[in-house]
Structures are given as structure tokens and as C-alpha cells.
Structure 1
Amino acid sequence: MYSKPIFKRFIIFFSIAIIIFLFGLFPELVLSIYVKGFYPIISTCLRWISSLFPFALGDILYTLLILYLLRLVAKFFWRVKKKGWQKTDKLAIPIYILNTLLIFYISFKLLWGLNYSRPSITKQLNISDKKYDVKELVLLADYFIDKLNTLQPQISPKLNYDIKQLREKAVADYQDLALKNPFFKYNVPSVKPVINGWLISKIGIEGYYNPLSGEANVNMKLPAWVLPFVTCHEISHQMGVAREDEANLVAYLVGINSKDVNLQYSVNYNMLRYILFEIRFKSPEDYLKLKDKISPGVLANFKAENEFWAKYNGQMSSYMGVAFDKFLKLNNQKKGIKSYQNIVVWLWNIHGKELKKSESQSSVSPKD
């Protein structure tokens, strides 16, 4: 282990990392050069390669990477045991570790992470960020409850999906919506089930995007009525929508424009989860009143989903939640996990005018 070559590599990697960091400070530049230029090329290539494999290639790559790092650690300790601690190690080892971290940082940012620095997609989709009050939040909840109460009896009684069905349905809906808005254009699909559904469920993860392989990975152990939304959410990450709240928004817009009742139900069901969580926090009294309006069929789905997570969730999910919260904050999502709730603001701005108009019309008494 020689310090001079390692130090030279450190200077190179550090300089590249600084350039990438500074580049990320200019959202419009990121949008024009990275999001609309470099990223679509690299992500399409990655998806094409990973689509050739029937399993989650990214999971295998992560495993190999971990094994490689463990091998390096074992090799180092074996060398120390055999030859003793060298003087050059005092400087070389920290720099070697920093070089490894810098390689991970550069790779992550170039493969996908710079998408966190793009301007909010709500600007591209012309959706306002105007805040709501509690009364408006309750009005929004009423809308989604009515929607779900209507859709729930129409969904397939024995709803069951395999990954092929999920992929085909989601891709078709993205393509249909892309005819109206090119923002939703999605090429070369690569949607895979996670390899270890038990572990992923234990951690508390519904799905994830893998930057190494460009794959959208879905936890197929989830209840069937949750899966379509999760699939659309992960596909949005493949398209370069990095932020979780914005991925929820894209999945919702795809779902409500779908001709598939099961997909419509899935996205509306997941949106109601976020809305009820917000109301429960801001107005517990209204939460209890709204809960009574939810049909037995929808309540049964909520109960079954809670039972699913109760079956798997343990201390690990709490630890992973903290880690994910830190990860989001490091990537321009200052609210961390709480940023998921931004979707409620956008849902209000999508439906608010319509709901207020409907409310005002219903409050006007008919003339004699």
C-alpha cells in the first residue's frame, strides 16, 4: 500500500466530487444537461441490460459489492497480522477509505443521484404548492373516501398479480398518459420482484429503485391492492423522479388516468393513507368522524395491510427508517421522511377548486 499514488487518486476523486456538488447547486442546469441529456441515455442503457436477466440484477450487484468490500477488509487485517502495522498505513488507510467513499458518491450522483437537484416536477406539471387549512383537508378526505367507497366493490374479488402483469399494466398506463404529456414517456421497462421479500418486508420497504442496474424493484409480498401503486411509484424513479413525494404524485396521476379499476383503487387507496395520517395529526376529532364514513370493504383492506406490517415489522424497520430519513435529508429533502406528506398539498391543489365549487353549489338552497 503506497501513499503517493493513493493521494493522487484522492485529489482526482475529490476534485470530481466537488465539481459534481457545485453542478448540483444549479437546478436549471441540472435539468437541461443531466435530466434531459445524460440521465435518459445512461438509465435506458442500464434498464436494457438488466431487462435481459429474469432476476433482480441490482440485488446481485449489491451483494457482490458488499462481498468485495468485506474481502478488502479481511485482506487488510491478514496483511497487518502477517507483516505488522506499517508507517505508511497511518496516512494511506484513511485516504484509501476516503477514495472508496468518493467513488461511491461520484457513481451514485452520475447514475441517478443528481436527479435530487432538479427543479420540482410540480413546476413542469403546473401544480401549485399553496397550503390548505384543516377544513379543506377534511374536504379532500371526503372526496377520496367517496372515491374509494365507489371503487372498492368494482375491484377484482380475488385480486392477485405476478410481476409481469404489474409491469404490463403500469407501462401501458404510462404510455397512454405520455400521449397527452411527454413528461410521462417511459422506454425499455425493467421491473423486477425483490429477491428476498421476507427481509425487505422486515425492514419495512414496499419497493426501491436500484441505481446500479436501473431496475424498479417491487416487494411482491405486499397486499395485492397496494402493488399497482408501488409499481408506478418505482417506475417514476426510473424516469428520474428522485424525490419520494414527487414519485407519489407521478404514480397518482398515472393511476387516476388508467382504465384499470384495480389501479385506480390502488393509487386512491394510498393517497387516502397520507391524507388520514395528516388529519389524525392535525385534527383527531375530524379523523374519527371521517373513519366512520369509510366503507367496510375499504376498512377491511386497511386492517389487512396493518396486519401484514405487524407480521413483519420489528426493530430493524425503525433503524432503517432513521437511516432513510438521513439519506433523504442529505439529498435535498430537508423534511426527510416527512416529505412524503407533501403529496397531500399537491392533491389539494389538483382537486381543491373542484371540491370548493362542489361544496358551494351543495350549500345553496334551491329556490321555491
Structure 2
Amino acid sequence: MQQTLKNAAKLFIIALGILAVAFPPNSDWIERAYVNGAYPAWEHFAVSVTAPVPWSLGDVAFLAGAIALVSRIVAFARAPRRRRSILNAALSCVAILALYAVWFTVSWGWNYARAPLESRVRFDDRRITPQAAVKLRARAVARMNALAAAAHAREGVPLDTPALYSAWLPAVMRGGNDWTPLVSLPKPTLADPFMVASGTSGFINPLTLNVALASDVLWFERPFDLAHEWSHDAAYAREDEANYLAILTCLRSPDPAVQYSGWFELFLYLPQARHYARREFVPLVWRDFAALRERNARHVNVLVAHWSWRTYNAYLKTNRVAAGIANYDQVTRLMLGVALDQRLLPLAR
């Protein structure tokens, strides 16, 4: 009888996991009741709890799940043959996975069901043309060249995260949030060796909302990468939207190093010319391109990176981001199609 009740509880958890993942609420409910309803309370609680801790509580959550799975498998393997039950062991393992699926979905994953940013701001797809993209790329090149010397002069200066937050928050609010997100500094993570080997610059742990940046992120990448992960924390799950908000954040900053970070990353996401003459970039910019290549050649494992990005591509498509990892590059659409005011903030619809 007791085992029957346990199995019933496991089946209930599994059913919840399937419902949470397979049947997300509609985007109107997500925007009203989740993104601007329940999620802010959870985000404030999670960040308040995790911020003072010097390491990632997301690692603890992951390890707890892994230990629970391994313990169930070991218990099954060590049990006497007559007491073994493949069904009970399988239900236990699937129930643990389902519990984490519910945790992921309710904690953060429902943000994938949010309506696209262009539905909340003034967006005109007629502005998205090859000519406009070329013009934006030329502006990015010009700004990178103009800012390079001032940015490199601040290479050794620690990033002013409160100032970055001040530039970031208005863009997040203009994008549809009616609440003020809390943020924290990046946490060291056990996943760092994998991030370095796969070329992953950062991530948000969806279970605890910890932000992590790879240990080999370069100084001119850091402002953009941190603003990108903060945007995920603020309920912008789509990669193009997190990129867009991170770029606007950097361009709005008075710090030349932060501005340089934004223009540099924007340039990398824009459609590229086949060849660039040496004179098109100042030597400092070429040096930064070389630093990226050298870092990647030294750290990135091609097989790990290929597997990682294929897996993430499948993950994004599972969460209804049809473009998969190509969604990163769709920031070009937003940069060209969204109208901005004089403060580089999106105009509301």
C-alpha cells in the first residue's frame, strides 16, 4: 500500500512535468500574470538569497538532482534480486527529472512563451533592408575606431556595475517590464571548464537565477555579456532580445569602454563583408580581433563546442524559439526595425 502511494505521487509529479513543459500558457497570460505578476516576486526573492553567497547556488541545485538520480540507481543495483523493481526505480528517476522540469519551467522557463519584444515596442519591418544593415555596419566600424583608444585606456579599470545597471534598467522597463529587476554579480561555477571549452561566454541558471560568466571572457566583452545575462534574469529569455538590450545598455553608457563593448558585439552579429582592408580598422581594433581568435584557439575544443551548440539549438527549438541558435543573430532585425528615442530607448507602441 505504501509503495502504491509513493508510485502515485511519482506519477503525479511526472504528469505535472509533462503539463508544464508541453502546454505553456498563452502569451497574454504570460505577460500579465507571470512576467509582470508572479515572476518579479520570485526574481526578487531568488536574487536576494543568492546574491550574498560567493558561489553559485545553481550548482548546488544541479548537484542535488544528480546525487538524487545516482542514489536511486545505486539503491536499485544494490538491492537483493527479489526486492528489485525496475518500475519503481524508473519512476523514481523520471519523477526527479520531472520535478526539475517543473522547477525550471515555473522558475524561469515560461519566459520563452512571452510575446516577442517587437509586439510591445514601435517596430517597422520595412526598415529592415540589406542597405540599412550595411549602413549600420559602417556606423559600428566608425564607432569602434573612434572609441578604441579611450576604451583601451580603461582596460585595467574594473567594470562599474552600478553604472551599467543604470544604463540597462530603462531599456528593460521600456521593453515591457513594469517592475524593477534585481541583479547580482556573476558567480563562480563548476560549469566554467565546460563554458571555456565550448566557447560559452555566460549563462543564467534558471533554477536559482544565478548569472555566470566564463573565466576567459575578455575585458571588452564583459559589459555586453553581463548586460545580456541580466536581461535573461529580467524575463527576456530570447537570445536576440537579450542581445538587443545588452547592446542598447552599452551604447547608452557614458563609459567609452562599455560603449566599445556594445559596438564591438553589434558588429560581430551584423551581416559581414567578405573582406576587410587593413585600413578599415585602427590597430587597437585589429588587436582585439586577434585576442578573440587567440583565446578561442587556445581554449575552445571543437568537438565540445559543436556538441554544446547542437544541444542548445535543440533546447531553444524545444522551448519554441524556432530559429534555434540563429536567434542570436536576429538582433539585427531589432536594431534596424525598432524605433528609438534620443536616449536610445525603444519607443512604446
TM-score, shorter chain, exceeding 0.5: yes
Give per-residue Cα distances to partners, 1:79-132, cap 9 Å, x unaligned: 2xxx01657x24333333332222121111000000000111222232344574
Change (3 A) 1:349 1:177: closer
Matched positions, count: 339
- Matched ranges for 1:162-311 at <5 A: 165=159, 167-175=161-169, 183=177, 186-196=180-190, 197-275=192-270, 278-279=271-272, 286-289=273-276, 293-311=280-298
Q: Within the alignment, does 1:328 sit opposite 2:330 as a pair?
A: no
Structure 2 counterpart of 1:282? none
CA distance in 2, matches of 1:158, 1:238: 28
1:66 maps to a residue whose letter is: A
Structure 1 residue ranges without an equivalent (≥5): 280-285, 355-368
CA distance in 2, matches of 1:13, 1:131: 48
2:306 maps to a residue whose letter is: S
Contact 1:3 1:91 survives alignment (8 Å): no
Structure 2 residue ranges without an equivalent (≥5): 343-349
1:151 maps to a residue whose letter is: L
- Matched ranges for 1:84-233 at <5 A: 84=81, 86=83, 89-130=85-126, 132-157=128-153, 159-160=155-156, 165=159, 167-175=161-169, 183=177, 186-196=180-190, 197-233=192-228
Question: What is the SS of the residue equivalent to 2:153?
Answer: coil
Change (3 A) 1:16 1:198: closer
Contact 1:192 1:216 survives alignment (8 Å): yes
Question: What is the SS of the residue equivalent to 2:123?
Answer: coil
Change (3 A) 1:184 1:201: farther
2:183 maps to a residue whose letter is: P
Question: What is the SS of the residue equivalent to 1:159?
Answer: coil
Structure 2 counterpart of 1:43? 43
CA distance in 2, matches of 1:181, 1:313: 34
Structure 2 counterpart of 1:363? none
Contact 1:51 1:190 survives alignment (8 Å): yes
Change (3 A) 1:185 1:161: farther
2:120 maps to a residue whose letter is: Q
Contact 2:144 2:285 survives alignment (8 Å): yes
Question: What is the SS of the residue equivalent to 2:212?
Answer: strand
Q: 29-38 vs 19-28, which deviates more?
A: 19-28
Contact 1:170 1:231 survives alignment (8 Å): no
Change (3 A) 1:180 1:14: closer
Larger radius of gyration, structure 1 or 2? 1
1:221 maps to a residue whose letter is: D
Report the identity percentage.
19
